[in-house]
Structure 1
Amino acid sequence: MLVSVTGGTGFVGAHTVAALRGAGHQVRLLVRDHATADRALAPLGVTSGEVGVVVGDVLDADSVRRLVKGADVVLHAASVYSFDSRWHRAMRATNVVGTELVLAAALGAGARVVYVSSFGALLPATDEVGPDSPVGRPREAYLASKAAAETVARRHQDTGAPVVITYPPALLGPHDPKPGDQNNRLRNTLRGLVPVWPSGGLPVGDVRDTAALHAALADAAEPDGNRFFGPGHHLTTREYVRTLREVTGRALPTVHLPARAMLPFGLLTSLAQRFWPWHIPAEYGAIYTCACAARVGERAPTFGVAARPATETFTDTVRWLHRAGLLSARAAGAAAAVPTS
């Protein structure tokens, strides 16, 4: 089976490509630069020679048509994911317009679609989120762009089109081609740059489990349902830091403040970030997500893919950050001595 993938050189996409190849599928990628395929996939045991490559962009209709031609499944994972305010314009274009182009082209070519959304597209929620939750109206640029793209995908579902939506939690894990917000937040915490955390919590999962979900859905011509959640665990911010202490053996002194009281500070840092050239590790979007504190319902479907223990995910992430030269042995603590899996 041929699975065409957008975003295949990103964190979720690269792990998904490895899972698809492990399941025996042919894979075709849409990439801006051919060289990025090897850099993203080689650490996962996949070479660019094992996959087809279309050079182009999700905002270019011609390259999207070449990507989806003859595909059985199109997995759309391309997204600008960042709470950094400098990326707001790019995420609105890629996340919404790109989704419109890719899904329309894929369905027009007769392919099934797996669209990678985010649990954040369902925020804010007062209690739990699940497959029947309405599209959210989040007051944060990245989450709002994912909610708008979610509306596009659901519009196709409403017509009976073969579109499946997945909702990954906040993802950690090894081999992040361009360490994104979640792995960087963990890294910055261990570097002592995030001594203050908002109250609340968030669902946290392992990128390898979400990749396994995507590979399983690519195999399923008629899954029982059309909205599935990436496996994970809801962690309060205190539990998040406590897990880091457990796997590193470090004290990690931390102050926890009410999330909603921290929102104005987050807004100020987002404004400052537009003019400050270095990343400020105190994003409004991260504080906003914790303030919403929505849990994924215990019965939310994960298509039979179980979440591995959070301690395993945290250990593997810290160990990889150290082995990749992104974290000192002192910062990684006990996790630095764990053998690589």
Structure 2
Amino acid sequence: MLILVTGGAGFIGSHIVTALAGAGHEVRVLDSLLSAAHRTAPPIPDGADWWHADVRDREAVAAALRGVDAVCHQAAMVGLGKDFADAPDYVGCNDLGTAVLLAGMAQAGVGRLVLASSMVVYGEGRYECPRHGVVRPGPRRVADLEEGRFEPPCPTCDDPLVPGLVAEEAPADPRNVYAATKLAQEHLSAAWGRATGGRVAALRYHNVYGPGMPRDTPYAGVASLFRSALERGEAPRVFEDGGQLRDFVHVRDVAAANATALAGMDDLPEGALRAYNVGSGQPHTVGEMAAALAAAHGGPKPVVTGQYRLGDVRHITASSQRLRDELGWKAQVSFAEGMAEFATAPLRAG
């Protein structure tokens, strides 16, 4: 197949391009090289048909879709950004860009889409109260955060909660601008599928890390910020008490999930979107990740600051059982192996 990878020069996209080319596909890359992710021009994977263009450019997208069999849509502005002033850029890049792409696909008759979604669409993760069963806590109160009470309480009785794994059926509850734009991408893609009969696999990535992450940028993930600090000889600064649970999944596993989804596209329901969590299945706390990275790097031990960011959630870990059962994907890189590699892996000038 000829596969168009939007954002194919980015951190995750470039690994996907490599995986698809290795599986024998022809790959076309469309990327605008946004300055938030690219301070310098990145190397383009060998053999890729390179198009330097913005996914919001209708003419460029229409041209790039000619002859394409499927689209792997990675182009997006990621992370929490600096502040709410970033909102128009997020909506423009993520939602307008997706709308332009989908309109072009409808016009060109391209009916297969793998969408890079995110676990942030869920908001907080899954929680159980010993007295009230599964509950959904609201946003954490500023007064609690200021006092160092980071665990969300039961919304009914205020008792402590037990975190669990989120399945794809969990209701969406985006709690920041980035999360809202990722959910909007899913809704737009679902509308496109219903209108055209196209098939959509929405891959909800959990915390992706690995070689080639951009360094020192508010748009990067926490793993990159910790790794950048260690490279400078500084201690990673861990927010809250470090007890936030996450699922850190290696970028090569994410690339493999995209290749697997594309290979199984014809088995998906026609005209529908199917969501899949993409996680390692090995939850760890942010503090554990920082400690493992520092130990493997040989740098200073992490410092727990007690600081917090409004919009951050406390615990979010995934069940990726659907992706394993339906498409046969399973993460291959263990937490220990991945952190040992990432501790010394090159970063991008992001």
Match of 2:58 in 1: 61
Q: Alignment partner for residue 164 of structure 1, among 169, 192, 201?
A: 201
Match of 1:279 in 2: none
Match of 2:293 in 1: 244
Is 1:152 matched with 2:191?
no
Cα gap change, 1:103 to 1:205, in 2 (>3 Å): same
Give the unaligned 5+ runs of structure 2. 128-164
Could you list the per-position Cα deviations for residues 55-82 of structure 1 after superposition, in whole angstroms to 9, with x for gaps in the alignment?
A: 3211111111111122100111000012
Secondary structure at the aligned position of 1:306 is classed as coil
Cα gap change, 1:41 to 1:230, in 2 (>3 Å): farther
Match of 2:248 in 1: 204
Cα gap change, 1:145 to 1:224, in 2 (>3 Å): closer
Cα gap change, 1:227 to 1:251, in 2 (>3 Å): same
Match of 2:275 in 1: 227
Q: Alignment partner for residue 225 of structure 2, among 185, 190, 199?
A: 185
The amino acid of 2:30's aligned partner reads L
Cα gap change, 1:138 to 1:316, in 2 (>3 Å): same
Shift of 1:169: 1.2
Question: 1:55–1:63: 8 Å Cα contact kept in structure 2?
Answer: no
Q: Distance in 2 between the 1:80 and 1:242 partners?
A: 28
Match of 1:105 in 2: 104
Match of 2:72 in 1: 75
Shift of 1:174: 0.6
Shift of 1:22: 0.6
Q: How many residue pairs align between the two structures? A: 289
Could you list the per-position Cα deviations for residues 319-339 of structure 1 after superposition, in whole angstroms to 9, with x for gaps in the alignment?
A: 114xx698xxxxxxxxxxxxx
Could you list the per-position Cα deviations for residues 157-208 of structure 1 after superposition, in whole angstroms to 9, with x for gaps in the alignment?
A: 4555211111111111012366751243222453225154443222211011
Match of 1:23 in 2: 23
Cα gap change, 1:133 to 1:153, in 2 (>3 Å): farther
Match of 1:143 in 2: 179
Q: Alignment partner for residue 342 of structure 2, among 311, 317, 334?
A: 317
Q: Distance in 2 between the 1:29 and 1:250 partners?
A: 37
Cα gap change, 1:29 to 1:298, in 2 (>3 Å): closer
Question: 1:172–1:206: 8 Å Cα contact kept in structure 2?
Answer: yes
Q: % of aligned pairs identical?
A: 25
TM-score using structure 1 length: 0.75
Q: Distance in 1 between the 2:19 and 2:258 partners?
A: 8
Comparing 60-69 with 182-191, greater Cα deviation is found at 182-191
Q: What is the root-mean-square deviation of aligned Cα atoms in Å? A: 2.8
Match of 1:297 in 2: 319
- 1:109-124 aligned at under 5 Å gives the runs 109-111=108-110, 112-124=112-124
Could you list the per-position Cα deviations for residues 95-135 of structure 1 after superposition, in whole angstroms to 9, with x for gaps in the alignment?
A: 1111111123224322211111111122234444323233x
Question: 2:4–2:28: 8 Å Cα contact kept in structure 1?
Answer: yes
Give the unaligned 5+ runs of structure 1. 267-283, 327-341
Match of 1:331 in 2: none
The amino acid of 2:226's aligned partner reads L
Q: Distance in 2 between the 1:244 and 1:168 partners?
A: 21
Q: Distance in 1 between the 2:226 and 2:320 partners?
A: 25
Cα gap change, 1:76 to 1:298, in 2 (>3 Å): closer
Comparing 163-172 with 303-312, greater Cα deviation is found at 303-312
Q: Distance in 1 between the 2:317 and 2:238 partners?
A: 24
- 1:275-286 aligned at under 5 Å gives the runs 284-285=310-311
Shift of 1:54: 2.7
Q: Is the helix fraction higher in 1 or 2?
A: 1
Q: Distance in 2 between the 1:196 and 1:54 partners?
A: 39
The amino acid of 1:129's aligned partner reads V
Q: Distance in 2 between the 1:16 and 1:169 partners?
A: 16
Match of 1:175 in 2: 212
Question: 2:53–2:60: 8 Å Cα contact kept in structure 1?
Answer: yes
Match of 1:7 in 2: 7
Shift of 1:220: 2.5
Q: Distance in 2 between the 1:142 and 1:16 partners?
A: 22
Comparing 80-89 with 3-12, greater Cα deviation is found at 80-89
TM-score using structure 2 length: 0.73
Match of 2:261 in 1: 217
Match of 2:304 in 1: 255
The amino acid of 1:319's aligned partner reads T
Question: 2:215–2:228: 8 Å Cα contact kept in structure 1?
Answer: no
